[in-house]
Chains A and B, each alone.
Chain A
Amino acid sequence: MSAPSMGGASRDGYGKALLRLSDDPRVVVLEADLGKSTKSCHFRQNFPERTISMGIAEQNMMLVAAGMASSGKVPFASTFAIFTERAFEQVRNGIARPGLRVHICGSHGGIHTGTDGSSAQSIEDLSIYRSIPKMTVIHPCDDLSAEELTVQLLDIEGPSYTRTARNKVPRMYDDESKLGLKIGVGSILEDGGDVAIFACGVMVEKARNAASVLAEEGINCTVVDMHTIKPLDTALLSELAESCGCFVSAEDHSIIGGLGGALSEWLSTNKPIPLEMVGVNDRFGESGGTSELMEEVGLTSVAICQAARNSINRKNAS
């Protein structure tokens, strides 16, 4: 794989994907006064007749989307991740329960969002949407993968939640490698037999950096871009549990209920091997620059390295 390059934020990929999806006349876009931020604004600019402004009223937006889905449309409804949570019951009862194909995108997810402060930093969205039956939950790591995976949403049954991030990060994919991505299938970025690191979103880059550092210590890591939190790629978990024998999870999300939670649920009932979790340790964020905040909260390559060593030590001790 070519060296990472500075690309765009995953929200840019979402915006581009909507334009690609416009070929399907069923696709409609709903906004809640944050189109410039979620990047649905590009669709609005080109297809105003298929873009519906719902104002700052997220609960209404979710059920309008449901009504449109029941009438044969394929709605993509987006706002900040944190504001989708305001409409949790609407998503649960109005969209997911009847199995309507509404695709929700929550942008500005995680601590990475930065200076806006803790009210804007959703650290529980993956957890709450993952707990809803029938929901697909994805969290891409860069703009190219976000674009590719969003386009694929058109072909899935049922509703979905996609978390995107505000800030630009180095690309983990290029125009060729992104074509190998598939919803529900973990993407292996590095191959090594000592420990498997499962990361999502902005933590994928940090996991790869950690793997480079660990390689110098003679530790060989598998790094998986676990862009799909649900359905969980249990075939890959099974395979890597066998070959690596210990895991690390890394996410810009609470350690409760997100990617780490999903892995631990599966491991504890299928293959009880060590898992170390890097994530937000049951606390709220605060205002700050993205890098200093990630450092403050413990979402760093250093933390992933230490988690990997701990996980390996536990494996060797057992």
Chain B
Amino acid sequence: MGEAVQVRIEELEEMARKCRIDIVKMTHAAGAGHPGGSLSAIDCMVALYGSTLRFDTDNPDWEDRDRFVMSKGHASPAMYALLHQMGVLEEADLMSFRTLGSVCQGHVDMNWTEGVDFSAGSLGMGLSFGLGCALSAKMDSSERSIWVMLGDGETQEGQIWEAVMAANYHNANNLRVIVDRNRIQNDDFMEVQMEIGDIAAKFESFGWNVKEVDGHSMSELVGVLQWAEADDSGPTAIIANTTKGKGVSFMEDNPEFHGKAPNNEELEIALGELS
């Protein structure tokens, strides 16, 4: 890896650190939200926006922009933190998270937040939406890529596999999925609730091109995103092995912080660890 790329990786890691601070601060301010799955997904999202996704913050409605479909919409703090670090949202927007009239709705919503391409909330729907965007792009002979972020628990939804089947059948080679494989869902660890097993093999069996990566290694992520972007032989899936609550010791691998905000004391500890 060359020196210039190395510097870029460090910049992305620094951006992810700032996003993590935003995530714990905004969930603390709201007294609600989903920090665990936001902290597990954020490195993938920073890598994607920082290295691969084509968009223009000055022209958010640019027709040929790549689309990012945040299907695990409860991890909205990750999306808002990223948009804040890119200068689209203000600090005050983050602090209004989940309050009446806020542009930062509880779950990501394309009608409320500039730069959001999908209205999420109910799990299992985003991949189908992304497929619709992908098929439209192909009809329009547009080069735009469609990226979809799924949770691993979310793959328990049957609709995901309807979309996986259809994407290959319709040769959606502009559709790319990242699965945030943090192994924890709302109530408990997946192995306690409903372990799905080898997600990569399941995508592969439907004809997808799949790679697994360390979802917290910025250099690995940048590499695999470029692979996915370049591979036009079919739809591609990246299984990102992550840790729920990554970066905050007491949230890491802890099902309790799937949907619970840090209290005052916990916020101070978290900020100390992230500084």
Asked if A pairs with B, the answer is: yes
Indicate the member of A64, A75, A98, A99 with the most B CB atoms within 10 Å. Answer: A64
Interface presence of A222 (CB below 8 A): no
The residue that A71 contacts in the complex, of B136, B158, B166, B170, with Cβ under 8 A, is B136
Chain B residue at minimal CB-CB distance from A62: B128
**Given A93-B122, A99-B111, is A67 in contact with B165 using a C-beta cutoff of 8 Å?**
no
Task: Report the separation of the CA atoms of residues A59 and B160 in the bound assembly, to the nearest whole angstrom.
Answer: 10
Interface residues on A, range: 20 to 34
- Choose one: B110, B122, B136, B162; the contact of A57 (CB below 8 Å): B162
Contact, CB under 8 Å: B128 / A60? yes
A70 contact from B110, B122, B162, Cβ within 8 A: B110
Contact of B136 among A55, A62, A73, A90 (CB under 8 A): A73
B258 CB to closest chain A CB (Å) equals 21
Which residues does chain A contribute within 8 Å of B178, judged by CB atoms? none
Shortest A32–chain B CB gap in Å is 10
Q: Name the prevailing secondary structure of the A interface residues.
A: helix
Residue A94 at the B interface, CB < 8 A?
yes
What distance in Å separates the Cβ of B145 from its nearest Cβ neighbour in chain A?
13
Please measure, in the bound complex, the distance between the C-alpha atom of A119 and the C-alpha atom of B124, giving whole angstroms. 26
Task: Kindly state whether residue A168 has any CB partner on chain B within 8 Å.
Answer: no
Give every chain B residue within 8 A of A62 (Cβ-Cβ).
Answer: 128
Min CB distance B187 to A, Å, is 20
Contact with B along A64-80 (1 / 0, CB 8 A): 11111111110100000
Quick one: which of A50, A57, A70, A89 contacts B132, CB cutoff 8 A?
A70
Indicate if A302 sits at the interface (CB-CB under 8 A): no
A94 with B129: CB separation less than 8 A:
yes
Is B230 engaged at the interface, CB distance under 8 Å to the other chain? no
A260-300 interface mask toward B, CB cutoff 8 Å, 1 = contact, 0 = none? Answer: 00000000000000000000000000000000000000000
- Nearest residue, chain A, Cβ from B137: A71
Report Cα–Cα, A108/B176, bound state, in Å.
Answer: 37
Query: 1/0 per position for A32-59, CB-CB distance to B under 8 A?
Result: 0000000000000000011010110101
Q: Does A219 contact B (CB under 8 A)?
A: no
Q: A63: CB under 8 A from chain B?
A: yes
Is A97 located at the chain interface by the 8 A CB criterion? yes
A87-103 CB contacts (< 8 Å) to partner B: 89-90, 93-94, 97-99
Q: Which residue of B lies closest to A73 (CB)?
A: B136
Asked if B132 and A64 sit within 8 Å, CB to CB, the answer is yes
Please tell me if the beta carbons of B136 and A59 are within 8 angstroms of each other in the complex. Answer: no
The reply to whether B166 and A60 form a contact with Cβ atoms under 8 Å apart is yes
Mark interface residues in B129-148 (1 if CB within 8 Å of A CB, else 0): 11111111101100000000
**B110 and A63 contact, CB distance less than 8 A:** no
CA distance A86 to B69 in the complex (A): 23
Q: Which of A55, A70, A89, A97 has the most CB of B within 10 A?
A: A70
A interface residue numbers (CB < 8 A to B): 28, 49-50, 52, 54-55, 57, 59-73, 75, 89-90, 93-94, 97-99
Besides the known contacts A93-B119, A94-B122, 14 further A-B residue pairs in the complex with CB atoms under 8 A apart: A55-B162, A55-B166, A55-B169, A62-B128, A64-B129, A66-B128, A67-B133, A67-B135, A68-B135, A73-B139, A75-B132, A90-B125, A93-B125, A99-B111
* Residue contacts A-B, CB under 8 angstroms, 19 given: A49-B139, A54-B166, A55-B166, A57-B162, A59-B125, A63-B128, A63-B163, A64-B129, A64-B132, A67-B128, A67-B130, A67-B134, A68-B135, A70-B110, A71-B132, A73-B136, A90-B159, A93-B125, A98-B110
Closest 6 A/B residue pairs (Cβ): A67-B132, A63-B128, A71-B136, A60-B162, A57-B162, A64-B132
